[in-house]
Structure 1
Amino acid sequence: MGGTPGTGTAHLTVERVDATLVLTLNRPAAKNALSPPMLVGLYDGWLAADADDDIRSVVLTGAGGVFCAGMDLKALAGGGMADDAYRDRMKADPDLHWKAMLRHHRPRKPVIAAVEGPCVAGGTEILQGTDIRVAGESATFGLFEVRRGLFPIGGSTVRLQRQIPRTHALEMLLTGRPYSAREAERTGLIGHVVPDGTARAKALEIADQINACGPLAVEAVKSSVYATAEMTETDGLAHELEHGWPIFGTADAKEGAKAFAEKRPPVYRRT
């Protein structure tokens, strides 16, 4: 009990689709509000994806046409949870909930968010820890904390201004108002708006494109992007050379060139 890595929990479903691990927030009756079982399952899912070299990408989505309505404060305080094992896991690692929400953990595999319905408060905060974002037309976003006299402490006062223009970040943070999917796309918070009910399919389509690429190259590129984000251009370019050149010496790089010459799909072996 309390979550076995990679198998999911009562509130987090784990599914393998080819080379993609799909993590589904599964508490639709509560609008997928974050609970101890969900947070434990999420963190274990991130670890399982990192540990399995056959997994090349992760899709994060929600069940029941909802992404996530934020924290369930009652559940996190201990109310309404029949299984103490989840709370024991969280007590044993006081940072677990931040790792689950991608505040204190960055998976080495690309993470694609597939959003349907509400993605607000803690949902929008988790979203900022993902790499690529797809939303259904009726999806809604927002950081409502200030309306309740609270602080969006999942990382939004730091991350949001680095992901979208500061004027948009401050408006979202300081008004606490909801944003439509189209408005979120215009600000740059999400990358694709698709018909309702198709966000997961679009996310899996993007995942398939990533999965067809060299996994060592993909992971090195993702790592470099985040590592250099706050560096000067000079330091960032030096880091890129240091971490990018070794990729050219891999067997996968040779396979990519050979496959191109032979006009066939490459077969990458992570070597």
Structure 2
Amino acid sequence: MGGTEHLTVERVGATLVLTLNRPEAKNALSLPMLVGLYDGWTEADEDDSIRSVVLTGAGGTFCAGMDLKALAGGGRLDGDPHRDRLKADPDLHWKAMLRHHRPRKPVIAAVEGHCVAGGTEMLQGTDIRIAAESAVFGLYEVRRGLFPIGGSTVRLARQIPRTHALEMLLTGRPYTAAEAERIGLIGHVVPDGQALAKALETAELVNANGPLAVEAVKVSVYETAELTETEGLERELERGWPVFDTADAKEGSRAFAEKRPPVFRRA
């Protein structure tokens, strides 16, 4: 497992936990954080023993977006020892923020505190979203004369009703967790301090399932999203039928008949 000074990596069973770890700056995005995220997504994709990923933040907050103080001072994200990574892959930061990369494994967000600007943009790249009661969401960019270039003008209206997406984008106002749940931005609201526990509980439910089936389902949902229903149903069969031919599918049926938990082997 990797990690950097602003991103910690931990294994909890079959779940990889990535923690944004710059609490003194409300986990504002930094190059070490982005490099750590990129490496974490890569590890999850390449390690078949990892069944799911939980993304969270340290210090009671998720992510306050870009480091505006650094930008105001003329700095960019290349002022530290990790700058060679960005030079080698100029797209690294977009992959880290899930703008230009979709992890193979399900990603569950566990949000406490502020999840605004770039935090809300990164959230849109996750699959399942859990937030604490006092969590705050919002796309604040227009308030600063900036543009939410992390994908929100494209993704948000595909994930929640357009009128809510446009209100969030154009007003730049904060949203409570209850309101975010009501408009469909997040799926669960839990007591403060319990977001990570709920995310890990949800991850365990995912991890208990056939990994080949889980990954095929995730791919099918995303790749058919912009197709017509007829095209999508055709693509679903292309993704779904091969799953039935796997040893895991046979094991699942056998375990059900024998009234025992299945033992899946990614085969």
- TM class, shorter-chain normalised? over 0.9
Q: Percent of counterpart pairs with the same letter?
A: 82
For structure 1, the 5+ residue unaligned runs are 1-5
Matched, 1:69 2:69: no
Partner SS for 1:55:
coil
Quote the offset at 1:25 in angstroms: 0.1
Going from structure 1 to structure 2, the CA distance change for 1:236 and 1:79 (only over 3 Å counts) comes to: closer
Native 8 Å contact 1:134 1:192 kept in 2: yes
- The structural deviation recorded for 1:20 is 0.1
Partner secondary structure for residue 141 of structure 1 = strand
RMSD: 1.3
- Which residue of the partner structure matches residue 206 of structure 2? 210
Conservation of the 8 A alpha-carbon contact between 2:15 and 2:54: yes
How far apart, CA to CA, are the structure 2 residues paired with 1:241 and 1:80? 44
Indicate the residue corresponding to 1:45 in structure 2: 40
TM (norm. structure 1) is 0.95
Tell me: CA distance 1:262–1:19, structure 2 relative to 1, closer, same or farther (3 Å). same
Taking the TM superposition and a 5 Å limit, the aligned residue runs for 1:62-211 are: 62-73=57-68, 75=70, 78=75, 83-84=80-81, 86-211=82-207
- Structure 1 equivalent of residue 248 of structure 2: 252
Give TM-score scaled by structure 2 length: 0.97
Task: State the Cα distance separating 1:171 from its structure 2 match.
Answer: 0.2
How far the C-alpha of 1:243 sits from its partner, in A, is: 1.1
Shift of the 267–82 alpha-carbon distance from structure 1 to 2, 3 Å rule, reads same
Residue identity in the other structure for 2:121:
E
Question: Could you say what secondary structure the match of 1:138 adopts?
Answer: coil
Offset at 1:92?
1.1
* Offset at residue 79 of structure 1 (A): 6.7
1:207-264 CA-partner distances (Å, limit 9, x unpaired): 0000000000000000000000000001100000011000000000000000000000
| 8 Å CA contact retained: 2:23, 2:58 | yes
Alignment correspondent of 2:16:
21
Alpha-carbon separation, structure 2, partners of 1:189 and 1:12: 25
Q: Say how many residue pairs are matched.
A: 265
**2:31–2:80 Cα contact (<8 Å) kept:** no
Contact 2:78 2:86 in 1 (8 A): no
Change (3 A) 1:147 1:82: closer
SS in 2 for 1:14: strand
The one-letter amino acid of 1:255's match is: E
Q: Identify unmatched segments of 5+ residues in structure 2.
A: none
Aligned to 1:59: 54
Match of 2:234 among 224, 238, 250: 238
In 2: Cα distance, 1:73 partner to 1:91 partner? 21
Moved more, 88-97 or 119-128: 88-97
CA contact 1:35–1:75 (8 Å) conserved in 2: no
Contact 1:75 1:81 in 2 (8 A): no
Q: For residues 129-188 of structure 1, give each alpha carbon's deviation from its aligned partner in whole angstroms, at most 9, with x where no partner exists.
A: 000000000000000000111100000000000000000000000000000000000000
Q: Is the 8 A contact 2:64 2:116 kept in 1?
A: yes
User: Equivalent residue of 1:13, what SS?
Assistant: strand
Matched residues in 2 for 1:56 and 1:80: separation? 31
Residues 74 and 80 in structure 1, CA contact (< 8 A), matched pair in contact too: no
Q: CA deviation at 1:82?
A: 7.2
